[in-house]
Structure 1
Amino acid sequence: MPAPSSRPAAWQPGDVRDAAGGLFALALATFVAVTTELVPVGLLPLISDDLAVSESVAGLLVTAYAFMVAALALPLTSATRRLPRKTVLLGTLAVYTASNVIVALAPTFAVVAGARALGGAAHAVFFSVSIGYASRLVRPHLAGRALALVTLGASAGFILGVPLSTSLGTAVGWRDAFLVLTGVCAVAGVLTALLLPSVPGGGAPPDDAARGARRTALAQVTTANALAYLGHFTVYTYVSVLLLAAGLATAALGPALLLIGALGLIGAAFAATRLDVRPRQTTVITLSVVACGVLALGIVFPATVGTLVAAAVWSIGFGAVAAVFQTAAIRTRGASPDVVGALVNATANIGIGGGAALGALVLDGAGVAAVPYTGAVLVVAALVVVLVARKAFPGGAAADAEDARHGSRGETKDE
């Protein structure tokens, strides 16, 4: 009789309740990742003053970070594909921690930029792996809800991470804000090690007659994803500049960003309840709200109250953006979950970095009032892609049928 194996049983996908601990761990890690990427947004005026660079140059801290992600997402995901997924995630959290402490202690802007590039390399792997990870924790027809719950961590990064770091940086200095974030990164790493179950990698789609159509659908989803993020971050990278130019007091900037960001939870909750039922309608509504909010921001600027209200509408819509595109991309099954995650990650960060750079050009050229109009055009372009690409963004019945077929097959060959 063979001796019993000491190897732990493989994780079996179940419902959302079964995966609650793992989903919480991923949401917490996502909060840390998003906060680390975007913390300079609210601190741009302080960083530029302390390091003697312009606000547009300081904005490149977001651009360089995002372009590192865009360039490295696919190659680093491929290079680490044979490593345990949990080990890779924990490694990225350790690098986030190191990056933030170097930024906090950096004597020059060049050192800050180098440390941010290090964080960008970690980010390239983190989101590529975490998107596929979340989809593996639950059965296929629950992927939308699982991804929406994990992206609540991203929403919390906007809602709590950026505004609180802005308030902290305003009160005690931007370097101390990065030191506090270093501690949060370390705590997130410990809790992720304790709560997140290990899952297998691989899971490439079958090589059949529909492979080309699936890849086309994936390309359409990632194109719309890039455009949506490009439009959003053309404006959001300079939201502190916009709010101050609209007459908001410096001391009120952090609380205002906190309140505006908190409204993103409405969009995130909307996505969590509807993505597994009406995915196409949810995506169209989400992008429509974002576009209307950003356009309204341009129309009412520089009226203080109007600017705040428009930013609130914009935030509500954007709270659902990550979940709708991650879910749509996973459901195309145009590649393995990790490669899908890498493509979503890369195109989002092309949008983030490109938006920061484009916003800087508009800010230095046409002026701050033109920034929202530029962003609105790009979000509308993303919406047009969604409306045209019906197979990439199917309605509920089509998505359910594909999930059922996939669930009956189970996972296929590894990468």
Structure 2
Amino acid sequence: MTDVAGWQPGSVRDAAGGLAALTLATFVALTTELVPVGLLPQISADLDVTESVTGLLVTVYAFMVAALAIPLTVGTRRLPRKGLLLVTLSAYTLSNALVAIAPSFTLVAAGRALGGIAHALFFSLSIGYGARLVLPQVTGRALALVTGGATAGMVLGVPLSTTLGAAVGWRNAFLVLAAVCAVSTVLVAVLLPAVSSDDAPPADQTRTVRRQRLGAVTATNALTYLAHYTVYTYVSVMLLATGLRESAVGPVLLSLGVLGLVGTAFAAASLDRQPRRGTLGVHAVMLLGMLALGAAFPSRLGVLVAAAAWCGAFGAMASIFQTAALRTRGASPDIIGALVNTTANIGIGGGAAVGAVVLVGPGLGALPYVGAALAAGSLATVLVARRSFPALTR
């Protein structure tokens, strides 16, 4: 079964309503995934587990996505896209509600696993959905707008839930997020047009080459996210170690998220014009920011300045990799979405796990240098894979 849809791809303006709905859905999805980052110290203390173990709530979620994104996308490829999106948003609502009322760490992890299952399908759908709403020549701008919802999850969702958690407790913060997810489900049902799921990559002699280019993009995506989340999963712990008050962590994360939106805006401006130059630039800034973070720690001012550069650059990454992957035309939009989703979450979950190992080994001060080493590998891959990250759109 496929969607019965009369929607025809057009300009970004033509698709504004649908893109706005996707942006909202992406906001609640990303906030659900990352909300433990800002609440990690509170969850750890309340459930009587270490911070490194609590960080694995991000890992559990992300690895569910990594394991299930492709099988679920393939298995549901003939089902209506819009209906599936609504199912995933409903599952986010239930996941956050379960976490809020769970009496033990085990049940909290189970609630997070449910969210991970929803996430496995959501981002695979949303990336392909965004591409189907517009013409190919404006894919970069359209996906940057949708990705703006993910960045807003960092800018508003995570910091506000952190601030709310400090004021009324982490469980109430999850309850509020469940309510926002429910509202988002209703708005998406009203605003998002249905689209067809009947599309496939070109069947010609270049298919193997296109798949190789797609492989390079998705592998680099995983490495970039691994670098970022090795450090970012524990950024609240690092900020507290500089002497920052717990009540100030939320506002600081909010400021870092605003800078991430600047990175997203840069991606929107460059992806349809000079994609390679922009990709190299933001990777270089991310690397230098992480190196500066390690050198400055535990100086509060130095950490804040370095984190601003690193997080600002990372704000462009989701748009960059989604657009680059779609432009390889190495698979259908949904499968490409699943691959981008899977590899990003391998990086997110792997980063949380790598960071946990570093915390119990070399210690907090080593985190930025480990992240920088991984970021250097990502930058090197972009430099070498010129056809996967071309200078001009194709």
Q: Which TM-score band applies after superposition, normalised by the shorter structure? A: over 0.9
Residues of 1 paired with 2:5 and 2:359: CA distance?
A: 55
Aligned letter for 2:261?
L
Q: Secondary structure at the match of 1:107?
A: coil
Q: Distance in 2 between matches of 1:341 and 1:382?
A: 20
Aligned counterpart, 1:101:
97
User: Hey, what does 2:141 align to over in structure 1?
Assistant: 145
Deviation at 1:346, TM superposition (A): 0.1
Farther off after superposition, 253-262 or 129-138:
253-262
1:17 paired residue number: 13
1:295 aligns with one of 291, 295, 302:
291
Equivalent residue for 2:106, pick from 100, 105, 110: 110
Matched-pair identity in %:
65
Partner Cα distance (1:294, 1:28) in 2? 30
Q: 1 CA distance for matches of 2:52 and 2:5? A: 52
Task: Give per-residue Cα distances to partners, 1:168-224, cap 9 Å, x unaligned.
Answer: 001110000000000100111111111111000132112211001000000000010
Q: Which runs of 4+ in 1 moved over 2 A?
A: none
Name the structure 2 match of 1:181: 177
Alpha-carbon distance, 1:8 to partner: 6.8
Q: Secondary structure at the match of 1:263?
A: helix
Deviation at 1:9, TM superposition (A): 5.4
Offset from partner CA, 1:150-173 (integer Å, 9 cap, x none):
000011001011100000001110
Counterparts of 1:239-278 in structure 2 under 5 Å?
Answer: 239-278=235-274
1:7-406 matches, within 5 Å, as 10-396=6-392, 399=393, 402=394
Q: Does the aligned pair in 2 maintain the 1:202–1:337 contact within 8 Å?
A: no
Contact conserved, 2:5 with 2:194, CA < 8 A, in 1?
no
User: In structure 1, what residue type is equivalent to 2:315?
Assistant: G
Q: Which amino acid aligns with 1:91?
A: V
Q: What code does the residue aligned with 1:302 have? A: P
Tell me how far apart the structure 2 counterparts of residues 391 and 200 of structure 1 sit (CA, whole Å).
30
Alignment length (residue pairs): 392
* CA distance in structure 2 between the partners assigned to 1:125 and 1:226 by the alignment: 18
Secondary structure of the equivalent of 1:205?
coil
Deviations 1:378-415 (A, max 9, x none): 1111111111001100112xx2xx3xxxxxxxxxxxxx
Distance in 2, Cα, partners of 1:366 & 1:253: 24
Structure 2: how far apart are the matches of 1:315 and 1:192?
29
Which whole-Å CA distance do the structure 1 matches of 2:343 and 2:65 have between them? 9
Structure 1's unaligned 5+ residue stretches are 1-6, 403-415
Distance in 1 (CA, whole Å) between partners of 2:370 and 2:75 is: 37
Residue-by-residue CA offset, 1:116-141 (whole Å, 9 max, x unaligned): 00000000000001001000100001
Question: Once the 2 structures are TM-superposed, how far is the Cα of residue 241 of structure 1 from its aligned partner?
Answer: 0.4
Matching residue's letter, 1:217: R
Q: Which moved more, 1:33-42 or 1:285-294?
A: 285-294
